[in-house]
């Protein structure tokens, strides 16, 4: 699984880095950023889906690889 944030849609609500701090962080203006290469280990998949499902702007793509 791989996660991506669409920077055109992200408005910095921060739900992703609240819910899945191991996968997402914030830039200096508070916009969400994927940590590392965005590859999600099997034990983090649930959290990744939860973060995506809680993004008010639907800015997170979860791609099953």
- Exactly one of 4, 22, 35, 53 binds another protein (CB under 8 A); which one? 53
Spatial distance between the Cα atoms of 39 and 16, rounded to a whole number of angstroms: 15
Nearer to another protein, 29 or 37 (CB): 29
As measured in angstroms, the least distance from the Cβ of 39 to another protein is 23
Would you give the binding string for another protein spanning residues 2-41, x where CB under 8 A is met? ---------xxxx--xx-------x-xxx-----------
Residue among 23, 33, 27, 17 at smallest CA distance from 1: 23
Instruction: Identify the CA nearest to 45 among candidates 10, 8, 20.
Output: 20
């Amino acid at each position: 699984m791989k996660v991506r944030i669409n920077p055109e849609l992200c408005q910095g609500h921060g739900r992703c880095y609240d819910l899945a701090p191991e996968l997402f962080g914030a830039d200096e203006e508070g916009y969400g950023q994927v940590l590392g290469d965005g590859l999600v280990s099997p034990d983090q998949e649930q959290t990744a889906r939860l973060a995506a499902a809680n993004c008010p702007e639907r800015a997170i793509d979860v791609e099953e690889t």
